[in-house]
Amino acid sequence: MKSNLCDAVEKVLIPKSEIDKRIEELGQEITEEYRDKGELIVVGILRGAAMFMSNLTLNIDLEVGIDFMAVSSYGHSSESSGTVRIIKDLEEDIAGKNILIVEDIVDSGRTLSYLVRNLMDRKAKSVKIASLLDKPERRTNEVDVQFKGFTVPNEFIVGYGLDFAQQFRNIEDICILKKSFYEKEI
Ligand code: IMP
Ligand code: MG
């Protein structure tokens, strides 16, 4: 969906053309990083990373396995609930394999610090992170993001997979949501 057709959008932060360009670069970086390193499983975190996951994996010039996880997130508010719960787990055994977690945004860092620990406990060979966005101002848990798309300000972001209360995921640009939308929810 074009962002100018959505009246919840305050402004476009990163247009689709820039997103595509950056994901191509990330795909190249990831290709170089994992060349001749053994098996790589790319793990997309549902549902926010869906668009990033498909675009990114198409830009990796290696044979990779694809899997998905779903974890609890913000529910219907714009504040994090503080706990992480696995709603859908991996289909594959990851022992001895390289794992690249693909996430939409690192905010507090709680989700990813939990996931990295959880996947390392399963004896993965390595666990790294590719995140489309990084919102460093709200970080409470330190996470090392090896492949980062863009740094964003402390605003509520929608589009290119990111939602507010399950809406706006299919906007093609990365956008700032109008404050009036989430302030009335809290
Ligand atoms: P965490 O606070 O780093 O654990 O972030 C958890 C999840 O919150 C992310 O994977 C997103 O799904 C969601 N999230 C954080 N910030 C935003 C935002 O600005 N827009 C939409 N979703 C967000
Ligand atoms: Mg998410």
Model confidence pLDDT, tens digit, residues 91-103: 999 999 999 999 9
- Strand, coil or helix: 55: helix
Span between the terminal Cα atoms of the chain, in Å? 27
Using the predicted structure, report yes or no on whether residue 76 has a pLDDT greater than 80.
no
pLDDT digits (tens, 9 = 90+) for 5-60: 999 999 999 999 999 999 999 999 999 999 999 999 999 999 999 999 999 999 99
Proportion of the chain above pLDDT 90, given as a percent: 90
List the one residue out of 135, 180, 129, 162 whose CA is nearest residue 3: 162
Catalytic residue annotation? 107
pTM over 0.85? The answer is: yes
Question: Measuring CA to CA, how many Å separate 158 from each of 51, 131, 147?
Answer: 12, 15, 20
- Strand, coil or helix: 73: coil
Average pLDDT score, the chain:
94
φ, ψ for residue 117, nearest 5 deg: -60, -45
From 14, 84, 104, the mutation candidate for ligand 1 (largest count of ligand atoms within 8 A of CB) is 104
The residue that leads in pLDDT, 76 or 171, is: 171
Distance 105 CA to ligand 2 centre (A): 7
pLDDT, residue 83, reads 77
Distance 18 CA to ligand 1 centre (A): 21
